[in-house]
C-alpha cells in the first residue's frame, strides 16, 4: 500500500456546471467560495464522454470505467422481473463504485443524491438516495419517504425531517432569483413551480449532507447536486443575450435566474468546505457543460434524450488539499480520471481494468501508483446490491415521471412490452455510441444494424450506422445506408456524411460539393467546418484549410479537433512552434485524443525536442496501440545516438506487424 496523501476526500458533483458561465461570475467576485477553491488548488476543463447522458457519466465518474463496463446505458431499462420499464438504478451498475472499493479497505464513506443511486447501498457509512429529495405528494398530503432511500434505516426519521417540499418555498426564497415573480401568471407559466422544485430538491440533499458532516465520522463523502442542470434546462433559454423567439417580457423576468443558480451553489459550497475542514481534500466536478452562448440549440429534438442537445462536452474540475499544487491549471483531465485519482489519494492501487488515469499533474510531487488487475475480484463485503433486488413500483414511477417531465424519456406506452422494447433499443443505441466514441466501430455495428432494422423510422440509428461503417472502413455499406437516407430526404446530415464518405474514397472535390451544401443549410456546426478543413488539407489548399479550422474554433473555442486541424496546417507550412502550440491546446481540451498526441509528437520532433516527442508518441500508442505511424516515429527516435535500441527494435517490429495485418485484411 502506497502512502496515504489525504486524510479525507470530499467529492462534490455539480451537474452541467460550465466555466463559460462561471468565469464572468468569478471576475465579478460573485462566487467567492469557488474562487478560494481554485486559488488554493488546481482547476481545469474536464472532458466528458459520448453520449453525454448524466446517468452514464456520473457512474463513469464513480467507477473510472466506460459504460460498457459499468452497465448503465441510458435513463431506463427493462425490468427482468415484471417485463415493464424501470429507471436505471444502483441495481443496474455491474461494477464497484469508489465507495464500494473504500469499504473493502475499511474506510467509511457517505454518499448523497448520486445519479441512478436508488435504492441506497448498504455501505460502511450513510447513503441517501436521490429519491430522498423527490416530492411524491402535495404539501397537504402525507409525503412518505420512499423505501430504500436511506441507509442505515436507523437514520430514516432523523434525515426525513430535513427534507423540504417545493410548496414550502416562499417569496423570500423565490425573489432573489426572480424579483418580478409577482407578474407571473402561474396558471399559464410553470417556471415558478420549476424553480421551487429545483430549490427544494437541492436544499434537501444539502441539509442531509451538512447534518452528516456535523454528526458522522468519515473518510470519503460524495454529494451530487442536480440543481445547475435542472436550472439550465428550465431557464437557459432566457439567459442573455435574448434568443430569437423568446418573448421580451419573459426574458426580462427570467434573465437573471442562471446567475442566481450559480451563486446559490457557491453558498452551499461554502458550507460544505467549512464543515469538511482544512485537512480535507476537496474535488469539485461536473459531468458536462451546458451551452450558454451562440451555440445554444435553435430547437430540441423530439426524441429520447432530446434535451441532451444542450449539453456541452466540457465540464469543470477543481481539487484542493494537502499535497495538491496551488493556484495552477491542469490540462487533459477526463471524468474517468476521478476515481483513479481518489484511490491514489488514499494510497490504494488503481484497477488495471479502469479506463481512467491518475491526474499526476495535480500533485506537488508525483505520487507512487500501484495497480491491481481488477477491484471486481477483491473478496469481502463491499455494500453492492444483489442484481435480483427489486425497486419498489412507487419509487420507480416517481423517477420515471420526473424523467418524462424533464424530457429525457418519452411517455411510457401502456403496453409494457412495447415500452420495454423501446428501452432496450435506446440502451443498445447508447452502448453503440460508447463503442464508436472509444474507437470500437466493429462492436458498434451489430447493435446499430439490429436496432435500425427493428425501427427504420429512427433516422439517428441509420446515421450512426453509416458513421460506424465509415470508421470501420466498410465504405460500400456506408454508401448504401446514406443513399437510402438521401432518398428519404434526410438533410443536412446525409449531405455531411456523404461528403465524409467521398473524402474516405479519395474524391475530395466531390466531397466539397456535399459539405458546402450542408454548410449552407447549417453553418453553425463546428464539426462541419472541420470536415471542410480536412478536404482542403487533402487537396493541399492550406489557406482554405486554415480558414475552415479557424472558423470551427470561432464557433466553439473548445473544439479540440479544430485546434488539431490548425496544427496539421501549420505542420504543412513548416511552422513547427505554432503547430506544437495548437496540438498542445487540442490535448489540453481532450486528453483521450490519440491523434492529438501524435501530431504533437511530430511537431516536437521537428523542433528537435526528442524526449518530449517520445512522450507524446508513447501516449498516442498507449491510447491507440494500432497507430502504425506512431510506432514508426518511436522506432526512429529511440534509434538515435544515446537512445534505447531495445525499444527502437520493439516499435519497429510492432510497425511491421501492423503493416502485415493491414495488408492481410485488405
Under 8 Å CB-to-CB from 117, ≥6 apart: which residues?
Answer: 89, 90, 111, 127, 129, 130, 224
Secondary structure class of 157 (helix, strand, coil) = helix
Angle formed by the axes of helices 560-572 and 594-606, to 10°?
Answer: 30
For residue 238, the 8-state DSSP code is G
Q: How many CB atoms lie within 10 A of CB 363?
A: 18
**C-alpha cell of 531?**
470536415
Secondary structure class of 335 (helix, strand, coil) = helix
Low-confidence ranges of the chain (pLDDT < 70): 1, 139, 304, 413-414, 490-491, 666
d(CA 144, CA 634): 63
**pLDDT value of position 260:** 98
Answer whether 585's CB lies under 8 Å from 617's CB.
Answer: no
d(CA 179, CA 194): 16
445 to 51, 113, 217, 478: CA distances (angstroms): 16, 35, 49, 11
Secondary structure class of 351 (helix, strand, coil) = strand
Q: By C-alpha distance, which of 277, 208, 319, 222 is closest to 7? A: 277
d(CA 235, CA 214): 34
Indicate the domain borders of the chain: 8-393, 558-666
Q: 406-421 as b/e, with b when 16 or more CB fall inside 10 Å?
A: bbbbbebeeeeeebbb
d(CA 570, CA 617): 19
Q: How many CB atoms lie within 10 A of CB 497?
A: 27
Task: Please state whether the peptide bond connecting residue 241 to the residue before it is cis, i.e. omega within 30 degrees of 0.
Answer: yes
DSSP secondary structure of 100-147: HHHHHTT--EEEES-TT--SPP--SS-EE-GGGG---S-TTS--PPPT
Under 8 Å CB-to-CB from 422, ≥6 apart: which residues?
Answer: 85, 304, 410, 413
**pLDDT value of position 490:** 63
The phi-psi region of residue 604 (left if phi > 0; otherwise alpha if psi is between -120 and 50; otherwise beta) is alpha
Residue with cell 466531390: 510
Q: How many CB atoms lie within 10 A of CB 33?
A: 19
Task: Please state whether the peptide bond connecting residue 423 to the residue before it is cis, i.e. omega within 30 degrees of 0.
Answer: no
d(CA 61, CA 111): 13
How many helices (H) and strands (E) are present in the chain, helices listed first?
27, 16
DSSP secondary structure of 62-92: HHSS-HHHH---SSEEE-TTTSSEEE--TTT
d(CA 329, CA 20): 16
Secondary structure class of 497 (helix, strand, coil) = helix
* Strand pairing report for 371-372 and 280-285: unpaired
- CATH class entry, domain 558-666: mainly alpha
d(CA 355, CA 374): 11
Q: How many CB atoms lie within 10 A of CB 492?
A: 18
d(CA 500, CA 535): 9
**Phi, psi dihedrals of residue 547, rounded to the nearest 5°:** -65, -40
Where are the strands (E) in 293-402, listed by range?
311-312, 314-320, 328-329, 333-334, 350-351, 371-372
d(CA 265, CA 286): 13
Angle at 25 between CA 22 and CA 30, to 5 degrees: 125
d(CA 48, CA 56): 11
**pLDDT value of position 126:** 98
Q: Do domains 8-393 and 558-666 have the same CATH topology?
A: no
DSSP secondary structure of 504-542: HTT-HHHHHHHHHHHHHH-TT-HHHHHHHHHHHHHTT-H
Identify the H or E element spanning 203: helix 191-215
**C-alpha cell of 640?**
538515435
For the CA atoms of the chain, what is the radius of gyration?
A: 25
136 to 75, 129, 394: CA distances (angstroms): 19, 14, 9
Cα 536 to the center of its chain, rounded Å? 31
d(CA 556, CA 82): 46
Q: How many CB atoms lie within 10 A of CB 347?
A: 16
Answer whether 307's CB lies under 8 Å from 331's CB.
Answer: no
Answer whether 105's CB lies under 8 Å from 229's CB.
Answer: no
Q: Which CATH number is 8-393 given?
A: 3.40.720.10
Q: How many CB atoms lie within 10 A of CB 665?
A: 7
Answer whether 545's CB lies under 8 Å from 569's CB.
Answer: yes
Q: Please give the span between the terminal C-alpha atoms of the chain, in angstroms, as a whole number.
A: 48
**Phi, psi dihedrals of residue 144, rounded to the nearest 5°:** -70, 145
* Strand pairing report for 42-47 and 328-329: parallel
Cα 270 to the center of its chain, rounded Å? 25
Amino acid at each position: 500500500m502506497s502512502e496515504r496523501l489525504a486524510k479525507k476526500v470530499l467529492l462534490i458533483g455539480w451537474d452541467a456546471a460550465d466555466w463559460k458561465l462561471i468565469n464572468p461570475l468569478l471576475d465579478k467576485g460573485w462566487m467567492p467560495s469557488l474562487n478560494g477553491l481554485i486559488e488554493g488548488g488546481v482547476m481545469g476543463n474536464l472532458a466528458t464522454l459520448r453520449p453525454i447522458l448524466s446517468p452514464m457519466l456520473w457512474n463513469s465518474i464513480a467507477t473510472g470505467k466506460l459504460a460498457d463496463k459499468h452497465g448503465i446505458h441510458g435513463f431506463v431499462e427493462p425490468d427482468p422481473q415484471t417485463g415493464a420499464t424501470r429507471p436505471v438504478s444502483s441495481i443496474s451498475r455491474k461494477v464497484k463504485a469508489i465507495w464500494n472499493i473504500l469499504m473493502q479497505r475499511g474506510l467509511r464513506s457517505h454518499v448523497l443524491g448520486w445519479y441512478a443511486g436508488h435504492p441506497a447501498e448498504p455501505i460502511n457509512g450513510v447513503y441517501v438516495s436521490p429519491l430522498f429529495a423527490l416530492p411524491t405528494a402535495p404539501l397537504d398530503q402525507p409525503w412518505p419517504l420512499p423505501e430504500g432511500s436511506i441507509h442505515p434505516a436507523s437514520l430514516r426519521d432523523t434525515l426525513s425531517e430535513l427534507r423540504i417540499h417545493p410548496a414550502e418555498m416562499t417569496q423570500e426564497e423565490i425573489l432573489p432569483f426572480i424579483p418580478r415573480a409577482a407578474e407571473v401568471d402561474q396558471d399559464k407559466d410553470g417556471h415558478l413551480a420549476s424553480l421551487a422544485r429545483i430549490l427544494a430538491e437541492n436544499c434537501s440533499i444539502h441539509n442531509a449532507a451538512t447534518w452528516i458532516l456535523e454528526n458522522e465520522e468519515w473518510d470519503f463523502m460524495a454529494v451530487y447536486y442536480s440543481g445547475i442542470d435542472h436550472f439550465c434546462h428550465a431557464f437557459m433559454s432566457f439567459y442573455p443575450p435574448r434568443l430569437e423567439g423568446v418573448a421580451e417580457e419573459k426574458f426580462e423576468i427570467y434573465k437573471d435566474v442562471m446567475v442566481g443558480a450559480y451563486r446559490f451553489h457557491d453558498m452551499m459550497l461554502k458550507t460544505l468546505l467549512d464543515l469538511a475542514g482544512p485537512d480535507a481534500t476537496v474535488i469539485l466536478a461536473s459531468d458536462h457543460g451546458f451551452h450558454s452562448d451562440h451555440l445554444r440549440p435553435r430547437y430540441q429534438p423530439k426524441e429520447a434524450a432530446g434535451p441532451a442537445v444542450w449539453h456541452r462536452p466540457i465540464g469543470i474540475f477543481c481539487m484542493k488539499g494537502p499535497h495538491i499544487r496551488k493556484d495552477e491549471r491542469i490540462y487533459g483531465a477526463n471524468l474517468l480520471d476521478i476515481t483513479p485519482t481518489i484511490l491514489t489519494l488514499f494510497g490504494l492501487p488503481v484497477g488495471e481494468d479502469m479506463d481512467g488515469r491518475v491526474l499526476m499533474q495535480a500533485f506537488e510531487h508525483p505520487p507512487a501508483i500501484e495497480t491491481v488487475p481488477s477491484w471486481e475480484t477483491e473478496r469481502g463485503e463491499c455494500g453492492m446490491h444483489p442484481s435480483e433486488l427489486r425497486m419498489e413500483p412507487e419509487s420507480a414511477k416517481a423517477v420515471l415521471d420526473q424523467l418524462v417531465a424533464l424530457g429525457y424519456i418519452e411517455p411510457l406506452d401502456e403496453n409494457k412490452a412495447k415500452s420495454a422494447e423501446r428501452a432496450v433499443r435506446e440502451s443498445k443505441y447508447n452502448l453503440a455510441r460508447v463503442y464508436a466514441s472509444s474507437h470500437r466501430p466493429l462492436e458498434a455495428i451489430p447493435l446499430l444494424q439490429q436496432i435500425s432494422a427493428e425501427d427504420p423510422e429512427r433516422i439517428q440509428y441509420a446515421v450512426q450506422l453509416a458513421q460506424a461503417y465509415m470508421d470501420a472502413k466498410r465504405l460500400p455499406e456506408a454508401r448504401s445506408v446514406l443513399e437510402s437516407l438521401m432518398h428519404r430526404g434526410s438533410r443536412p446530415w446525409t449531405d455531411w456524411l456523404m461528403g465524409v464518405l467521398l473524402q474516405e474514397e479519395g474524391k475530395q472535390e466531390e466531397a466539397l460539393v456535399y459539405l458546402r451544401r450542408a454548410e449552407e443549410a447549417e453553418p453553425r456546426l463546428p464539426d462541419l467546418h472541420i470536415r471542410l478543413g480536412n478536404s482542403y488539407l487533402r487537396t493541399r489548399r492550406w489557406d482554405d484549410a486554415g480558414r475552415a479550422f479557424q472558423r470551427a474554433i470561432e464557433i466553439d473555442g473548445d473544439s479540440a479537433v479544430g485546434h488539431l486541424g490548425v496544427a496539421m496546417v501549420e505542420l504543412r507550412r513548416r511552422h513547427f512552434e505554432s503547430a506544437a502550440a495548437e496540438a498542445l491546446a487540442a490535448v489540453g481540451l481532450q486528453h483521450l485524443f490519440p491523434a492529438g498526441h501524435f501530431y504533437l509528437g511530430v511537431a516536437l520532433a521537428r523542433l528537435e525536442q526528442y524526449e518530449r516527442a517520445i512522450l507524446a508518441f508513447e501516449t498516442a500508442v498507449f491510447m491507440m496501440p494500432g497507430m502504425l505511424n506512431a510506432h514508426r516515429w518511436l522506432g526512429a527516435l529511440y534509434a538515435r545516438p544515446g537512445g534505447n535500441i531495445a525499444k527502437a527494435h520493439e516499435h519497429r517490429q510492432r510497425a511491421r506487424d501492423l503493416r502485415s495485418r493491414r495488408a492481410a485484411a485488405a
